[in-house]
Structure 1
């Protein structure tokens, strides 16, 4: 598990628009928000990402770059991007299970129509120097933080110069 105030692992991921996203190349004003999602098979993920789509401008206004990443294949991720209402969210795919474990994500074995192995949800807020500021990990598809709560937290953090917590 990565603790707050620790450097996040380097992450280089392919995007559905045929470009490569690299964590160390990010230069947000305040934060990078990485949303790890389970994949196209997950209706809760669809709802979450479509909710994020509605709030992209609110994150941008606060100096936050966003990306959503899964372990789905390129074909599945491109279908996700085409079928879900998420046009303004950079969508990464092909996260390896080993990389997911470096981030402390929970891994599940597929049942029914799910992939053989996939990541459970995780949200990371990183400072511009790729230090973990805030993380929220789930072992189930349920109980994810609401984006209104995340935005409210960011507002407080920026106003109060609140430090990262959970490092001890």
Structure 2
């Protein structure tokens, strides 16, 4: 999961929920990581102040890496506590062989896939050996 950073209350809610459901992902064989372009200092504040449980936090994601994932990049709004540049959110399921199965990329902080829907989807995929879709793009 890619999140916008410490400044984002929507991200805080999503990462808090993710922390509470981490065991649900783990028991399905999903290794979860939440990554942002935040500095180590800002990521440590997230780790200490948000209730993310044992969700591993990756930080200092470069512009280049964010763009390779297809993420939108935003710049700081005047007068905000946002960093100068940050990525907008994204959620990805990557197979063990490194191929992409699912991607959800947003250009704003809103309208993210509900985690319960994602868990149900993972169960369906696993039970039905459901193939990756959108392969003709």
Q: TM-score, normalised by structure 2?
A: 0.96
Higher relative contact order (CA 8 A, sep 6+): 1
- How many pairs align? 134
Of the candidates 98, 101, 104, which is equivalent to residue 130 of structure 1? 98
Partner of 1:114: 82
2:29 to 46, 49, 63: 63
SS of 2:38's equivalent in the other structure is coil
Deviates more, 1:108-117 or 1:156-165: 108-117
Q: Does 1:44 align with 2:6?
A: no
Q: Which runs of 5+ in 1 are unaligned?
A: 1-34
Q: Find out whether 1:91 has 2:57 as its counterpart.
A: yes
Q: Secondary structure at the match of 2:43?
A: helix
**Does the alignment pair 1:154 with 2:122?**
yes
- The answer for unaligned runs of 5 or more in structure 2 is none
Q: Could you say which structure has the higher strand fraction?
A: 1
8 Å CA contact 2:74, 2:85 repeated in 1? yes
What is the CA distance between 1:87 and its match in structure 2? 2.6
- In structure 2, distance between residues paired with 1:95 and 1:128: 21
What is the alpha-carbon root mean square deviation over aligned residues? Answer: 0.6
Residue 45 of structure 2 corresponds to: 79
Would you identify which runs of 4 or more consecutive aligned residues in structure 1 move more than 2 Å?
A: none
Could you state the TM-score of these two structures normalised by the residue count of structure 1?
0.79
Using the TM superposition, give the Cα deviation of residue 154 of structure 1 relative to its aligned residue in structure 2, in angstroms. Answer: 0.1
1:97-129: CA deviations, max 9, x gaps? Answer: 111001100101111221111000000100001
